[in-house]
Amino acid sequence: MSARGDAAAAFQFLSRFPVKGGGDFSRELLQRSVVYYPVVGAAIGLSAALGAGVAAWLLPAWPAAVITLILWVWLTGGLHLDGWMDTADGLLSYRTRERMLEIMKDSRVGAMGVLACMLLLLLKASLLAAFLEGGTWTELPLLLLPPVWSRWYMVRVMVRYPFARGDDGLAASFKGLPARQERRALLLAALLSLAAAAAPLALGAGNAWPQLLAAAILAPALAAACGTLAARRVRSRLGGLTGDVYGALNELLEALLLLLLVLLQHNL
């Protein structure tokens, strides 16, 4: 299949964008499509940035942030939030490895999952509100960085970490993923990150260049460092990772990268 078909598969798998031509989601197609995960993240971030710009023009920061977050979640179909809740239910049960994996596989959501979801959404909404209130519309392209680098890190863990359920589950579709796929995804993420950091300069935010440079450098570093700490912790508990954990890592890194943007905005 062509690169266009691989990219379409990535969009169909990770988002609600009305993209056609993705194919049958075979194992081979899923493995080829991971290269374009950062592109899906960029499309989600761009849509969120545009939505935030319109919402912030019409409303105060908090309502605008909540509307932006609703759009953000809708574009993903709640896919990664589901993984976040299932992972919280399993890991926070403090049961045996086998029992935690059973809990994560259960389609029902428990108390820990609900609490984790509520707290995560509150954190993201508050960070978006702070970002919108503390900056200008020219800084909105920086919202591409969290979804780009969080999705790149999903590719990284698919390559570098074992699967907790062996050949069972969705994550097994990525077993044997070549390391070159991670490198290709990294290249795309870096190019998209540079474009996102350069866009405010083109829009007239020349005095914000220290913040933009710091964001472009620190976003991938933070994603790699914090993602590695979290992934190793989960592996020590479960013996590997699952598809739910991929989604949970994406949500965690998005929140941390939003926090980074707010910290840079208020300190540079």
Return phi, psi of residue 177, to 5°.
-60, 125
262: Cβ–Cβ under 8 A, 6 or more apart, which residues? Answer: 127, 130, 131, 134
pLDDT tens, residue order, the chain (268 aa) = 588 889 999 999 999 999 887 667 788 999 999 999 999 999 999 999 999 999 999 999 999 999 999 999 999 999 999 999 999 999 999 899 999 999 999 889 999 999 999 999 999 999 999 999 987 889 999 999 999 999 999 999 999 999 988 766 677 788 889 999 999 999 999 999 999 999 998 888 778 888 899 999 999 999 999 999 999 999 999 999 999 999 999 999 999 999 999 999 988 7
Q: Where are the domains of the chain?
A: 38-267
Tell me what percent of the chain is helix, strand and coil, each rounded to the nearest 5: 80, 0, 20
Identify the residue whose tokens are 């259960």: 106
Contact between 154 and 171 under an 8 Å Cβ cutoff? The reply is no
Q: Tell whether the torsion through CA atoms of 92, 98, 102 and 105 is positive or negative.
A: positive
